[in-house]
Chain A
Amino acid sequence: MGAERTAVIGVGQTKYAAARRDVSIAGLLREAAYRALEMAGRTWSDVDAVIIGKAPDFFEGVMMPEVYLAEALGAVGKPIMRVHTAGSVGGSTACVAASMVQSRVHRCVLTIGWEKQSESNAMWALSLPQPFATSVNAGAGGYFSPIIRRYMMMTGAPELIGCMVAHKDRRQALLNPYAHLHQHDLTFEQVVDSPMLWDPIRYSETCPSSDGACAMVLVDEASGDAHDGPVAWVHGTAMRSESNSYGGRNMVSPAASEQCADDVFAQAGIVDRRAEIDAVEMYVPFSWYEPMWLESLGFAAAGEGWRMVESGATALEGGDLPVNCSGGVLSSNPIGASGMIRFAEAALQVMGAAGDRQVDGARRALGHAYGGGAQYYAMWIVGSGKP
């Protein structure tokens, strides 16, 4: 007996914003959860379990928030499970939720990821001093900047590739009513001229700081078959992690990333990754991570990812492998939700429910998330047809 076929029948998101002062943390989550339930045509009483994820507790300073949130999420008397894998957590949480259905532990699971950055200080939380090391790191940008510089050195990529990614994602965000940044008049020149924060990362090549939550409803095969509405079928899920420091580590394309990709594509029976995937939602908090992940995920040969960006192959308009039609992390970053948004947007694409950002006829899509020191990975492939 194989794994239970699993379907996504509901997706709910909040309008991402710098600050949602009109709602509490619980109120923010309920907004996403109710939207997902309404799309799924379900109520709380149909939900067997809640799988919840967020980034480190000390961001908002609420320890074990899943305990406080259980009641708001209709989980009183039901199993609730917390997942934590740093920035990749939204993706890992969706993988865990899928496993609950695939293993036939539950038939209907609500999964949700969130962050309320307006009540938090992520830069402070990500720069905690350690007694055995000197404290010179300025948040995530300071950490990833040398890795990007190494990619640029090793591939000889033109200097403005990152700006092309940033401009594309911010343009595509205009098609997504849920995106945080809607910069209608942003020109490529403005991206190029924006100040360097963590050289070679410019201000406009950096993700914003957002409040938001994203939820999905996952059900078993019979419920997916019977569902009167769009369905995305799970074709594969994979997670990998590794130490962020070991001898011989390729920090640009870590082994855990490549192995996670190999696993998820094998599960989905995909051989020609670029040809067989119709849309990608990739975790790109800093623009240069698009070409880097294109290579690491096997969409481009080593050293060639930037050429795909340069040729326009990853744009919704005219590209053969549209990446981040939603605007991506570069346009909305509620950290603990960001991975789940990638997974949910992939599902919306194969449901044909992605509105103005829809890739015509998308049949299979990849959702991707990474976290920590580029050391935690979560990926899923969803399809319009059954696996």
Chain B
Amino acid sequence: METDPLVPPAALSGEVTLPPALADAEPVQSVCTPIRLSYTYTPGRALSRYLRAMAGKRILGERCPVTGQVFVPPRGVSPLGGTATSESVELPDTGYVESFNITRVPIERRPDLKPPYCSAWIVLDGASVGFLGLVINIAPEEVRIGMRVRAVWKPDDELETSAANILGWEPTGESDEVITDYERIGRADPPPS
């Protein structure tokens, strides 16, 4: 019943003959062509507010007027209902580790990151969603789900309008906050009346 995967299907099993002009040509199986993509990124209103606040070591999220959920970094829209967010919410630079990964292979784009290093979903206090960040100033093996962390910022004279202003997240030393109830992770303050 099963066909032999190493035998080509009948329609493709005929002999391939090259035109005489190509008879002596060196066969080429592949060529390697470097590609690059440069683009101008227009962040839009919500992300512009977020990036400008970053330059002043402040973290600005946005609240959904319907569900009360707070998003950071804000994309200007609530992902569930498609509602535009308009209210800025300043968030503290503290939160907890929702979960994490210890990467033991180098990544091309970040030669400065020496494996093993720990990347984690960080949920800020008052936020409804997490985002990826680096956990630093602790051995990767000692990181825990629920560990409390705070941002480590670049020196003031190096601050830009960039999320890269936060070098990573370090343990605060407070007791762990392990949340397994997803409704609670999505905790929503009541929307303003």
Contacts and interface: CB of A to CB of B under 8 A. Distances in A.
Contacts of A142: 101, 103, 107, 119
A119 interface: yes
B5 interface: yes
Contact of B109 (A131, A135, A251): A135
Nearest to B46: A132
A124 interface: yes
B85 interface: no
Most buried by A among B109, B113, B131: B109
Contact of A246 (B8, B80, B134, B163): B80
Contact of A247 (B4, B5, B35, B188): B188
Interface string B156-193: 00000011101000000000001010110111100000
- Chain A residues touching B, range: 35 or more
A373 to B, nearest CB: 11
Contact of A131 (B41, B113, B121): B41
A150 B109 contact: no
B182 A249 contact: yes
A35 B9 contact: yes
A273 interface: no
A131 B188 contact: no
B36 to A, nearest CB: 11
A146 B116 contact: no
A247 B185 contact: yes
Interface of A: 12-15, 21-22, 30-31, 34-35, 37-39, 58, 61, 118-119, 123-124, 127, 129, 131-139, 141-142, 145-147, 149-150, 153-154, 177-178, 195-199, 243, 245-251, 353, 355
Interface of B: 1-6, 8-12, 29-30, 33, 35, 37, 41, 43, 47, 50-51, 67, 69-71, 73, 78-80, 98-105, 107-110, 113, 116-117, 119-121, 128-134, 140, 145, 162-164, 166, 178, 180, 182-183, 185-188
17 contacts: A31-B8, A38-B10, A134-B134, A136-B119, A137-B119, A137-B132, A146-B100, A197-B103, A197-B105, A198-B103, A199-B140, A246-B78, A247-B71, A247-B185, A248-B69, A248-B183, A249-B129
